[in-house]
Amino acid sequence: MESAKLTLDPAFEVGPVERRLFGSFVEHMGRCVYTGVFEPGHPRADGTGLRHDVIELTREMGVTAVRYPGGNFVSNYEWEDGVGPADDRPTRLDLAWKQIETNAFGLNEFMTWLNEVDAEPVMAVNLGTRGVGEARDLLEYANFPGGTRWSDLRIAHGRREPYGIKVWCLGNEMDGPWQIGGKTAQEYGRIAHETAKAMRRVDPSIELVACGSSNLRIPTFGSWEATVLEHCYEQVDYISAHNYYDPVPGDLASYLASAIEMEMQIEGVIATADHVAAKLGSRKRLKVSFDEWNVWSQSRFGGESGLEWSHAPRLIEEEYDVAGAAVVGSLLITLLNHTDRVGIACQAQLANVIAPIRTEPGGPAWRQTIFHPFALTAAHARGRVLQAQVTAPKMVTERYGEVPALAAAATLDDDRLSVFAVNRGDEPLPLEIDLRGLPGATGITHVTVADDDTSARNTERDPRRVEPRPLDGATIDGHLLKAVLPPISFNVLTAELS
């Protein structure tokens, strides 16, 4: 078997591990909120209706930030509907997903839930059917101490202290023809500029995310970012990126290599943003907020036009297999390897809707296969990301040509080394990690997410079919750490350094 090699040296690093890379996403879509994170009357729900089995799994997963309330949902959302006494809230039509929205769960419930999971909010504002004034009002409600209309309303609703929400998304996928209130790049760039200006007057400490392209394949990718940022570059801190990676039947190799596409997109967005900075003569450097990403059989989804009006339907409740876990692991590796320019990332979504956590109404919650690479990476990625120099056998893919069979990243936290590695190939892959710059490695551990059946899934009946398991056999031979990665697997190797 041909070996893969990984060379690491503490003198060469990408940057510090951004904790916001381990973000998630809660949208009013399908059963993500209702019977997902929120289900009054459930045996594990508290007095406010929050499901504590989901809270516990979210904590275990290591989620650090959560984007809310959308997504496409936000572009038709009136935030005032979701605050105040629940009995007084109106029921509305959600035009994004053809759902009946009761507004039983809103900003205050979300922030209470977020406190329970110990994560940070990434709040989106409606720049589809609404605009500058409503965004300003929401920020005043959330962050202003008191003595004004909207801050006093928050206090009247039982929350005296401001929420202090730091990160705000200026709309969602405004380039998409599916978006309610979608805009041209010129139109969006102007409203993003004016909204940012007004919001910073209310709270100068906030961080703002401008909408980038909704995916890499949309025809305006690149030109959208360039035009938008020429309007609002100095007013924002991040430009967003979204993408989903589709397991097209009959092309497993390309699916396993999906991280190549994520890397292309990140580097394209960074290059465009830096181009605008050069044009404007700005020394400021934006970061990327990759605030929607996941694996999803999107080609099998017929779109919102085929949906019927209903409340909390079972919508794109994907069941993930071992191959999906390996792809998610490789996407996390790509985010780590770009931690110098990617400051936020949110896997979409948290519960039920293309999600790592599944639930049943009145029943259990369980971990899907893609839960495990996220939880392992969030737990072990600490300190600094080292530059990972990979030499690996090639595998041929239909979509991306030849790609390395190994995807890898490494972090160093004081004297603890963690290596994250995905074997994309269908054969075991011997791995040698050159540690000449990191001597004295001891206490080697190797944990893998793999299965002899790459289509194995976790289900309500068999929720622990696929779990991380320790592997024996990792050794130190001189300056080389040696291990064998199972076929189509996500792996974490750790070592203590003297």
Write out the two tokens for 341. Answer: 């320019």
- 361 shares its domain with 409: no
Average pLDDT over residues 313-320: 97
In tens, the pLDDT along 66-107 reads: 999 999 999 999 999 999 999 999 999 999 999 999 999 999
| pLDDT in the model for residue 303 | 85
pLDDT digits (tens, 9 = 90+) for 6-47: 999 999 999 999 999 999 999 999 999 999 999 999 999 999
**CB proximity list for 421: less than 8 A, separation 6 or greater:** 6, 333, 406, 407, 408, 431, 485, 490, 491, 492, 493
- 173 among known catalytic residues: yes
Among the listed residues 39, 225, 292, 318, the single catalytic one is 292
| Same structural domain, 212 and 350 | yes
Indicate left, alpha or beta for 91 from its phi (over 0: left) and psi (-120 to 50: alpha): beta
Structure tokens at 396: 């041929």
Q: Are residues 53 and 106 in the same domain?
A: yes
The confidence score (pLDDT) of residue 227 equals 98
Handedness of CA 241, 265, 385, 327 (dihedral sign): positive
- Whole-number pLDDT of residue 466: 98
Q: Spell out the SS3 assignment of 81-131.
A: HHCCCHHHCCCEEECCCCEEECCCCCHHHHHHHHHHHCCEEEEEECCCCCC
What domain range includes position 149?
18-380
- Is the domain of 134 the same as that of 33? yes
Average pLDDT over all residues of the chain = 97
CA atoms of 321 and 327, how far apart (whole Å): 10
**Which of 323, 345, 380 is the endpoint of a domain?**
380
pLDDT the model gives residue 322: 98
Are residues 170 and 226 both part of a single domain? Answer: yes
pLDDT tens, residue by residue, 271-313: 999 999 999 999 999 999 999 999 999 988 988 888 999 999 9
pTM of the model: 0.97
Q: What is the CATH number of the domain that holds 461?
A: 2.60.40.1180
Q: Please write the tens of the pLDDT for every residue from 120-141.
A: 999 999 999 999 999 999 999 9
pLDDT tier, 421 (very low <50, low <70, confident <90, very high otherwise): very high
Verify whether residue 194 is a known catalytic residue.
no
Domain count, the chain: 2
CATH number of the domain where residue 233 is located? 3.20.20.80
Report which of 321, 285, 277 is spatially closest to residue 454, judged by C-alpha positions. 321
Is the same domain home to 89 and 146? Answer: yes
120-125/469-470 β-pairing: unpaired
Could you identify the residue written with the tokens 């959330």? 142
- Whether residues 202 and 223 fall in one domain: yes
Comparison of pLDDT for 305 and 366, the residue scoring more: 366
Q: Are 76 and 131 in contact (CB under 8 A)?
A: no
| pLDDT at site 26 | 98
Q: What is the mean pLDDT of residues 173-177?
A: 97
Q: Which position has the token pair 């959302």?
A: 77
Say if CB 194 and CB 231 are below 8 A apart: no
Predicted local confidence at residue 290, as pLDDT? 98
Residues 102, 181: one domain?
A: yes
Q: Which of 80, 173, 225, 318 is catalytic?
A: 173
Residue 209 has pLDDT above 80, yes or no: yes
For residue 43, the model assigns a pLDDT of 98
Task: Provide Rg for the chain, Cα atoms.
Answer: 22
